Structure 1
C-alpha cells in the first residue's frame, strides 16, 4: 500500500474545535490524543448474511502501515465493502453502488451539463468531489480531465472518475472517513476511497445482466468476465473484461413557451441520462522472483462513449426572426464525448533486514474528446456544417514511490512499534487540444463551441515529498499513531501536514477514538489553466438566456483584466471524536463526530455578466464574450457532522441468516470568510463570488442521509432490502425569492438471488415505489417553461423505477 504521511502540527491545532464539541467532549478528545489512543468503528456496509468472518476482524490496509490493524481496532472510522456488498446494490456503476452503501457519499445524475454528463462527480461528507482521494491497490489514482464548469454538484472540480473501474474486478473497498493528507498527500481532506482489486489465480466468473426503467427507456446491458491463471514460480494474473450499454432516458416536458414555434407543444428537449457505451479492461498480477522479492503490477483501460443532449435551440430568436435556415423547426445539439482512461502500476516489494519495502512507478491518464453534432455555427450562415470536432482535454499523472516499514521492539509496549518512512516524486500534466476552426469561428458551434488555438497548450508541474508514520500500542487498551508529511510543489511552494490519532478501550465492548490533523489540496492544473469560450444557459434577471461565456485560466490576460490572482493550496484542519460499542460479537455501533475547517477553498466564480466597458477590454485581446468566469481561492468554510453506523448479524432457526445494517450521516457547512471582491469587478457592480456560488457550497447537497438494510439467506436463496432516506436540499439563485427547497424522500430497493450449482440468478427493483424528486417550479422561468422539470442536484436522479435481472456462472 502506498502510504504518504505527516506534517507540521502547528497549523493543525491553531483553531481549537470548541465550536463543534462541548467542553467535556473536547477534554476527552485532548486526553485521548495525549494518551495516544483511538477508537475503531465497525464496518458500514451491506454485510452479507453468509459472511463467515466478522468484518470487524478483517485486516485493513488503508490509513495504517501496521500488518495487524483491523476494523475493530482502527483509530479512525473506516468502512469495508466487499464485492458481494457492491453486487447486492444491483448497479454496474461503482459510483452508484458506493452511494447506496455509504450514507456519507452523494452521487447525483446531472443532465445537460456538457462533460459532467459523462464523467459524474461524487461527494464525501458534503465537500467538493476533488477533496476525496481515490487509491487503487493503495496507489494514487489519476483524476479526470473533465472540469465540472456547469451548475451541478461539485461545480469547479475535476475529481477521479469512479465509473472507469469495473465492479466485477473489485475484491473490496476501504473507505477512510477522516482527513489523511499527512498519510497520502494532496486531496485527502474529506477522506480516502481505496479500491482493492481481486487477486490470485483461483476463481472465475461470467456475468450477464440487463434492465430498464418503468417509463420504457434507459435500457441497460452489461457483460463481464473475471478470471485468473497461474504463472511460473507461484505467480498469478487476473484479467477482467466488461462491456456496457446504457440507453438514454428523458424526463423533459413539452415546450409551450412560444405558440409561433413550428414544434410548439412537443417534447423537444432531453433531460436524463445520456446514451452510453463503455469497454473496461483490467489486469492484476504478481510474480515471486527470488526469496522475499515479488514483482507486481496492475493496469486498467476504459473507453466510454456518450451521446448527451445540449439545450434545445428554438426555431426563432424572436417572434419572427428565424435562427438558421438549416433547422427551420429548431434543433437540439448533441455532444458526442469519448472518455479514455489508462492506468498502469508496476512495482517490486520485499523484505530485507527486518524492513518491508515497496518501490513502484505509477502512470495514469484521462482523455476527453468531444464532437458536437446536429448543430450549426450561426456565424457561417447557411454554409455552416452540422458536425464539429470541438477538441480534447487530457490529464496525466506520473508517480514514483518508495515505502519502507518495520516493527521495533520498544520496552513497555504491548506489541512492537511500527515505523514507516517514504519518499515520492509526482509529475502532473494537463493538455488542451484545439478543435477544428469551424467549431470556434465567430459564435462557434451551438451547444459547445470548440477550444480555440489560443486556449490550447500544455502545463506541467512536479512535486517531491518525504513522510513518516509511527504506530504504537502502549497497552492492550491504548494505541496511538502519528504521521508527518512534507511536500514541495514547483508552482506554489511547500506544504506540511500532520496527523495525531488515538484509541482507548474502556472495556472489551466499548472504546473511544479521536484524531486531529491538518491537510491540504493542491490546485489542479485544470483549475489553473482551463480556458474556453462557449455558449451557456445563464439566468439573468430570473430568465434563462443563452450567453457567449468565457472561462479563463488565472494566468491569462483576460482573467488578470478581471482581477484574477494565482491560485493557492487549500488548507484544512480536521478534528474527530467517536465511540464504538460492541456489546456482542454480532452486534456493533459506532458514532463519530467531526469538524473540517478549510481555508482558501478553490471555487469556480459566478457568471460575470460583463458591461460594455469590460466587454471592450476583452475584445481588445481578441476575446468576444458577454460573460466570464475563472477559478479563485474564494471561501473559508467549516463542515460539522456526525456518522452513525450499526450492524447486527443473527443466525435463525432452520439455518437462515439475517444481517441488518443502519447508516446515518448528517453534515452542515457554513462560510466563515469570503475573499474580497477584486477592485475592477466592484467598480462595475459585479461579484466574483455571488450568492449562488456560496450557497452551492453549503446547501445544494442533502444535509442528511439515512440507510436501513437487511440481507437474509436461507439455503440457495438470498434477499436484499434497503430503504434510503435522502434529506432536503436547496437549489439556490442570486435572487433569494427564486431559491427552491426540495423535500426529503425515501427510496426502496429490493433484490433476490438464487444459487444452483455454478449459477447464480438475480433479479431486483431499484426505487421500488417509483419516487421522483420535487419538480422545478416555474417561478422566474428557471425550468425554461417546464421543459426541464427536475433539478440536477437530486441525489438519486429523476429516472424513476428500474427493474433488472442478472445471471452469473462461476468456476
Structure 2
C-alpha cells in the first residue's frame, strides 16, 4: 500500500495540537538528513560543548568525535513526515525492514507485534534499546522488542548504529542497534489527532490520538516530570480488497496456490475412487475445478487478511531529579497491543472425517449427485465448512517496564547505573471459525452434516454448537536487571585524550508458556492441538570494557570487548576494533571488525510444539512421488496440498556466532552536503532459524 502525497496530507489532518486546542498543521516536508558525518574538530567557545554517550560506545565524548556509522532521526523529522508509530519511523531508514506481525499462518500467533530488521538479517539480530537499555522482548518467540510499546511523542531522537555491537551490548546486536532516546524535559501539554484514509477503497483506515504533557526544566529547575499517552488503531485490509492479492490463482504468473480441502468437499473412497460430486462446477470463485481431475480446489488466499485489525495503546512517564552533579530518574513504560487476524475456514482432512453409504448426503442417495465408481464404500472427506466462517485469532500482548537510574560524575568518572524490572504477557484466543474435530467427525458419520452442500436446519444448528471459543495459549516473560558503567579520560596523548570505560550487567530472565489443553486439543486446525505447557529460566552476567586511543591527530582507534555468561548455554567473548581517519575536514575513512553472538531465547529453547500448514502446496515425497499418488494414498491429502509443518523449542540449541567486517568513506564537499559509502560483510555461523519449507521439500528425494 503506497502512501501518496495526498493521503499523507490527509494523515496529518488535525495534528499538532496544543493546550489551547487543535490547530491544522502545514503540509509535511521532506525528511531532513541526520547531522553531517564530517565535522572539523570543535573550536573553543564561550560555552563548553557537552560530552554525551553515543549509541555503540560506553565512553562519553563530543558527538562529532565518533567513528561509528550512526544515522540520527530527530523528533522534528517525525512530524514533518507524518510518522505516527515507531515502526513507521524506522521504515524511513533504507537499511531497515520493519514489519507488523499477524496470524497469517495458523498457530503462529504474534500478539500483533511490530519488529525492526536491519539489513534483512532478521528482527532477532537487531537490538532495540530505550535510552540505552534493553526492553523486555515480546513473549511470543522472545527474540525481539515490540515497537508498538514505544510512544513516538516521547522521543527526542532515534539513533541507528549500522554496525555490530555485541562487544558493548551483548546478545542480539549482530545486525546493528536501534536506540530510542526520550526527552529529558517537557513543558506544557499537547493533543494530537490523526486520521489516514488509503487512496484505494476498502480497509486499512488508521486513527491516532496522542496526549502529552509535563512540567519543569531539568537544567533550570533541577526537576522535571512528563508523561505521554498514545492510542492507535488500524482497520483490517482483506486480501480481496486489493487486486494484487485477491486470489492465489494467477496463471499469467504461474501461480496456482490452492488447497484440496474445499467446499464442496472432495472425497477418497476405500476402493481408490477420488472426486467431487459437483466437479467441474464446484463453487467459484472460492472453489474452482482442478485441471484434468474430477476435483475442486479451494482458493484460500481469498480469505486471508493482508493487514489485521490492530489496536495499540502505549503510555510512558518519567521523573528526573538533579542532586548537584548527579541525576536520578524513575521511568515507567506500558504498552498494550491487540491483533485480530482471519484466515480461511478450518481444513478438515486427515483427521478421520468419514461418510458411510447410509448417510442421506452420500453421493447418489437422492440429495447429492451420484459419482461414477461409488457403490456405498466409506468416503474419507476433505472439507471446509464455510458456514462456520473464517478462523479468527485474537492476539493481545502487554509489556511493562519500571526503571530507576542514577547518573553523574564521581571522582572524575562519568557513571551511569540502573535497576529495572520488565514483564511481558501475551495470549491467543479462538474468536470464531474454529470447530471441534470430534463433533465434525461424529456429525458426518451420523448423517447430520452435509459436506457437499448447504446444511439443513439440524446441520446448521449442529455446526453452531461445534464452534470453539476461548483462550488457548498464554505466555509470560519476566526480566530483572541491574547494570553499571563508568568512563573517564585516563591521560592525554599527542593525538588527544585517551578514553576508557568499564561496566557490568546482571540479568535474570524467566518465561512460562501455558496451553489450555482442554480447548486446543479439540481443534487440529489451531496448530496447538498437541502443544504442552513449557517454562524456562536463566541468569546472565557480563563484563565489558572499551578504550578509545587517539593515535595521532585525526587518527583514532577504538577497541572494546565483552564477556557474557549464560547459565544455560555457556559463555561468549566478543571483541571489536574500529579505526577512524580524517586526513582533511572534507574526508573521513573508517573501518571495523567485530565478533557477535545471539543466544537462543527462552522461546527458542522451550517454546511449545506446534503443527501448522505449510504456506505453499507440495507433493508428499512418499505418498505422492513426482505428483503420482502411491497405491492406496489419498491424493486429496498427499498430492499438491498444504503439508504439515512442525515447529517449537529445542533445548539443545547453542548460541549463533557472527563476524562482521566493514569499511566506509564519507565526503563532505560543501557544508550541509555529505556523501557516504559503507561496505559490510557479515558472516553467520551456527545460525538459529527454521529452514524454509521450500528448502525442505526441494531437498527431499522421492
Match of 2:512 in 1: 431
Q: Is the 8 A contact 1:335 1:447 kept in 2?
A: no
Question: Tell me, what secondary structure is at the counterpart of 2:525?
Answer: coil
Q: State the 1:361 CA deviation.
A: 0.9
Q: Is the 8 A contact 2:126 2:178 kept in 1?
A: yes
Q: 1:182-210: per-residue Cα shift (whole Å, max 9, x none)? A: 01111111110000012213353211001
Q: Which has the higher contact order (CA 8 A, sep 6+)?
A: 1
**Distance of 1:158 and 1:120 partners within structure 2:** 12
Query: Larger Cα Rg: Structure 1 or Structure 2?
Result: 2
**Distance of 1:347 and 1:451 partners within structure 2:** 44
1:521 equivalent among 594, 598, 601: 598
Q: State the 1:268 CA deviation.
A: 5.7
Superposition pairs for residues 175-190 of structure 1, below 5 Å? 175-190=160-175
Q: Is the 8 A contact 2:38 2:587 kept in 1?
A: no
**Distance of 2:418 and 2:676 partners within structure 1:** 36
2:503 equivalent among 409, 422, 436: 422
**Distance of 2:76 and 2:37 partners within structure 1:** 13
**Distance of 1:126 and 1:325 partners within structure 2:** 38
Q: State the 1:255 CA deviation.
A: 8.9
Q: Is the 8 A contact 2:346 2:435 kept in 1?
A: no
Match of 1:173 in 2: 158
Q: 1:578-616: per-residue Cα shift (whole Å, max 9, x none)? A: 111111121111111111111110112456xxxxxxxxx
Q: State the 1:137 CA deviation.
A: 0.2
What TM-score, normalized by structure 2, do the two folds share? 0.71
**Distance of 1:116 and 1:200 partners within structure 2:** 34
Match of 1:311 in 2: 344
Structure 1 residues 322 and 311: alpha-carbon distance in aligned structure 2, compared to 1, 3 A threshold: farther
Match of 2:315 in 1: 281
Q: 1:456-484: per-residue Cα shift (whole Å, max 9, x none)? A: 13200111111111113233311121111
Question: Tell me, what secondary structure is at the counterpart of 1:97?
Answer: helix
Q: Is the 8 A contact 2:87 2:99 kept in 1?
A: no
Superposition pairs for residues 68-107 of structure 1, below 5 Å? 68-70=61-63, 72-99=64-91, 101-107=92-98
Match of 2:120 in 1: 126
Structure 1 residues 238 and 56: alpha-carbon distance in aligned structure 2, compared to 1, 3 A threshold: farther
**Distance of 2:55 and 2:610 partners within structure 1:** 42
Establish whether residue 291 from structure 1 lines up as the match of residue 324 from structure 2.
Answer: yes
Superposition pairs for residues 691-730 of structure 1, below 5 Å? 692=695
Uncovered stretches (5+) of structure 1, i.e. residues with no partner: 1-44, 148-156, 556-565, 608-690, 694-732, 737-811
Q: Is the 8 A contact 2:110 2:395 kept in 1?
A: no
Q: State the 1:353 CA deviation.
A: 0.9
Match of 2:633 in 1: none
Structure 1 residues 371 and 110: alpha-carbon distance in aligned structure 2, compared to 1, 3 A threshold: closer
Superposition pairs for residues 283-362 of structure 1, below 5 Å? 283-288=317-322, 290-313=323-346, 327=385, 329=387, 331-362=389-420
1:244 equivalent among 232, 249, 264: 232
Q: State the 1:84 CA deviation.
A: 2.4
Q: Is the 8 A contact 1:536 1:549 kept in 2?
A: yes
Q: 1:49-107: per-residue Cα shift (whole Å, max 9, x none)? A: 9x9x768669662122343332x5421211001112233343423223212x2111113
Q: State the 1:409 CA deviation.
A: 2.5
Superposition pairs for residues 4-15 of structure 1, below 5 Å? none
Structure 1 residues 294 and 385: alpha-carbon distance in aligned structure 2, compared to 1, 3 A threshold: same
Structure 1 residues 456 and 117: alpha-carbon distance in aligned structure 2, compared to 1, 3 A threshold: closer
Match of 1:210 in 2: 195
**Distance of 2:160 and 2:78 partners within structure 1:** 13
Structure 1 residues 477 and 411: alpha-carbon distance in aligned structure 2, compared to 1, 3 A threshold: closer
Q: Is the 8 A contact 2:513 2:534 kept in 1?
A: yes
1:481 equivalent among 543, 555, 558: 558
Match of 2:437 in 1: 378
Superposition pairs for residues 638-717 of structure 1, below 5 Å? 692=695
Match of 1:510 in 2: 587
Q: Is the 8 A contact 1:390 1:451 kept in 2?
A: no
Superposition pairs for residues 214-225 of structure 1, below 5 Å? 214-225=200-211
**Distance of 2:512 and 2:167 partners within structure 1:** 29
Establish whether residue 577 from structure 1 lines up as the match of residue 663 from structure 2.
Answer: yes
**Distance of 1:409 and 1:361 partners within structure 2:** 31
**Distance of 1:263 and 1:369 partners within structure 2:** 36
Match of 2:360 in 1: none
Q: 1:689-740: per-residue Cα shift (whole Å, max 9, x none)? A: xx626xxxxxxxxxxxxxxxxxxxxxxxxxxxxxxxxxxxxxxx7389xxxx
After superposing the two structures, state which structure 1 stretch, 480-489 or 53-62, moved more.
53-62
Match of 2:481 in 1: 399
Q: Is the 8 A contact 2:345 2:386 kept in 1?
A: no
Q: Is the 8 A contact 1:169 1:197 kept in 2?
A: yes
Question: Tell me, what secondary structure is at the counterpart of 1:222?
Answer: strand
**Distance of 1:427 and 1:109 partners within structure 2:** 28
**Distance of 2:685 and 2:183 partners within structure 1:** 39
Match of 1:613 in 2: none
- When the two structures are aligned, how many residues end up with a matched partner? 542
Q: State the 1:116 CA deviation.
A: 3.9
Q: State the 1:212 CA deviation.
A: 2.1
**Distance of 1:291 and 1:328 partners within structure 2:** 69
**Distance of 2:56 and 2:197 partners within structure 1:** 39
CA RMSD of aligned residues (A): 3.2
Superposition pairs for residues 43-82 of structure 1, below 5 Å? 47-48=31-32, 61-70=54-63, 72-82=64-74
Q: State the 1:552 CA deviation.
A: 4.1
Establish whether residue 494 from structure 1 lines up as the match of residue 485 from structure 2.
Answer: no
Q: 1:292-347: per-residue Cα shift (whole Å, max 9, x none)? A: 22211222111111110133336998998797999563531100111111122111
**Distance of 2:561 and 2:503 partners within structure 1:** 11
Q: Is the 8 A contact 1:65 1:418 kept in 2?
A: no
Q: State the 1:398 CA deviation.
A: 2.0
**Distance of 2:490 and 2:194 partners within structure 1:** 51
Structure 1 residues 259 and 460: alpha-carbon distance in aligned structure 2, compared to 1, 3 A threshold: closer
Establish whether residue 554 from structure 1 lines up as the match of residue 650 from structure 2.
Answer: yes
Q: 1:134-155: per-residue Cα shift (whole Å, max 9, x none)? A: 11000112221223xxxxxxxx
Q: Is the 8 A contact 1:198 1:284 kept in 2?
A: no
Superposition pairs for residues 710-789 of structure 1, below 5 Å? 734=698
Q: Is the 8 A contact 1:255 1:264 kept in 2?
A: no
Match of 2:653 in 1: 567
Q: Is the 8 A contact 1:197 1:284 kept in 2?
A: no
**Distance of 1:325 and 1:46 partners within structure 2:** 53
**Distance of 2:678 and 2:247 partners within structure 1:** 47
Structure 1 residues 463 and 285: alpha-carbon distance in aligned structure 2, compared to 1, 3 A threshold: same
**Distance of 2:407 and 2:122 partners within structure 1:** 35
